[in-house]
Homo-oligomer: A and B are copies of this chain.
Amino acid sequence: MNTCSYIADQDVSTETLFELSEFFKFFGDTTRIRIIQILLSGENSVNEIAEKLSLEQSVVSHQLRILRTANLVKPRRDGRKMFYSLDDDHIGMIFNTGLTHILHKKKGK
């Protein structure tokens, strides 16, 4: 028995599993995952994110709104700029767990 499955072995309600899938959806989009990766290194303004990703400001704003509504990021206003940062310590962990899997798979090839 490995230590990774102790939670899953317990009863989990269908509603919780639904929320879990909804939660993973936030990571299931290229734009959002790239935004999250940028925020892993710290606070960024909307325009900074847009420039780093070569995306329109509108696209970034829309996705930030989704992440904000889900409490994955939190905004901070400084003058005209809005700085966003990750709102939850778990986010980096989940990101890394997934990334480890991907890199591990690539290595295996």
- A residues near B (Cβ < 8 Å) are 2, 4-9, 12, 14, 16-25, 27-30, 32-34, 37, 40-41, 88-90, 92-104, 106
Contacts and interface: CB of A to CB of B under 8 A. Distances in A.
Contacts of A89: 2, 4
A65 B27 CA distance: 22
Contacts of A25: 24-25, 28
How often does this chain occur in the complex, in copies? 2
Contacts of A41: 8-9
A97 B99 contact: no
Contacts of A16: 99, 102-103, 106
A87 B78 CA distance: 48
Given A24-B28, A28-B28, A90-B97, A17 B40 contact: no
A28 B103 CA distance: 20
B19 A95 contact: no
